[in-house]
Amino acid sequence: MAEEEKPAPAGKALHQDARWRFEFWYPADWRRFSLADERQGVLCAPDNANFAASFSVEVKDLGLRVRAKDLADLQAGFREGLSTLTECQVAMEKRWSAGHLIGLEARYTFREQGALRKRWVRLIFAGRRQLHLVAQGASPAEFEHWLPALTEMMQSVKVD
CATH code where residue 54 lies = 3.40.1000.10
**What pLDDT is stored for residue 49 in this prediction?**
83
Residue 7 has pLDDT above 70, yes or no: no
Tell me, yes or no, whether 8 lies in a domain.
no
Q: Is residue 150 part of a domain?
A: yes
The total of structural domains in the chain comes to 1
**112, 120, 132: which is closest to 35 by C-alpha?**
132
Give domain status of residue 19, yes or no.
yes
Mean pLDDT of 35-63: 93
Measured CA to CA, the distance from residue 141 to residue 159 in angstroms comes to: 30
> What pLDDT score was predicted for residue 1?
40
Identify whether the C-beta of residue 119 lies closer than 8 Å to the C-beta of residue 134.
Answer: yes
- 56 within a domain of the structure (yes/no): yes
Residue 34 lies in a domain: yes
Is residue 3 predicted with pLDDT exceeding 50?
no
pLDDT for the residue 6 = 52
Q: What's the pLDDT at 8?
A: 53
Three state DSSP letters for the chain: CCCCCCCCCCCEEEEEECCCCEEEEEECCCEEEECCCCCEEEEEECCCCCCCCEEEEEEEECCCCCCHHHHHHHHHHHHHHHHCCCCCEEEEEEEEEECCEEEEEEEEEEEECCEEEEEEEEEEEECCEEEEEEEEECCHHHHHHHHHHHHHHHHHCEEC
Residues paired with residue 59 on neighbouring β-strands, in sequence order: 40, 131
Residue 9 has pLDDT above 60, yes or no: no
| pLDDT band with cut points at 50, 70 and 90 for residue 2 | very low
Q: Can you tell me the mean pLDDT for 21-36?
A: 95
- Domain-embedded: residue 95: yes
Residues in the chain, overall count: 160
In a domain, 23, yes or no: yes
Instruction: Judge if pTM exceeds 0.85.
Output: yes
CA gap 32, 85 in Å, rounded? 26
Question: Do residues 140 and 109 lie in contact, with contact meaning Cβ atoms separated by under 8 Å?
Answer: yes
The rounded distance, in Å, linking the Cα atoms of 75 and 156 is: 23
Q: In the predicted model, is pLDDT for residue 74 greater than 60?
A: yes
The answer to the question of residue 6 being in a domain is: no
Give the pLDDT score at 104.
Answer: 97
pLDDT higher at 123 or 113: 123
Average the pLDDT over 126-152 and give the result: 96
The arithmetic mean of pLDDT across residues 43-61, rounded, is 94
pLDDT of residue 156: 97
Mean pLDDT rounded to a whole number for the chain: 92
β-partners of residue 129 are 61, 126
Mean pLDDT of 103-121: 96
Q: 54 lies in which domain range?
A: 13-159
